[in-house]
Amino acid sequence: MRRDQREVGDLWVVHAVGNKRPELESYKYDMPGEENVTQSELLIYDLAARNMVQVNDDPWKDQMMSVASDRQFVYPDSDEARQQVWLP
């Protein structure tokens, strides 16, 4: 998943509670009604062809796609390699 937030405006937050002095935090955030929002693209690496394939999502404007993974139980002291299992 690749996300492009270069054109998204900054959101400014002032943390004033629990601090001796207010602290300013800013980060990219999509606001309702704004024209410039986060653009996403889903890329899949094709092992057989050895190239990157972009998932075609043109019919839906400004949507966000993701890959869902199955839950896994891992013993805390296990040295086994962890694998992600994608859900269909």
- pLDDT tens digit string along 19-65? 799 999 999 999 999 999 988 888 888 888 999 998 887 777 777 77
**CB contact set of 14 (below 8 Å; sequence gap of 6+):** 22, 23, 24, 25
Helix or strand (DSSP H, E) at 3? strand 2-4
Q: What is the pLDDT of residue 78?
A: 85
Give the predicted TM-score (pTM) of the model: 0.58
Q: How confident is the model at residue 12 (pLDDT cuts 50, 70, 90)?
A: very high
Measured between its terminal Cα atoms, the distance across the chain in Å is 17
Domain boundaries, the chain: 1-83
Q: DSSP class of residue 86?
A: B
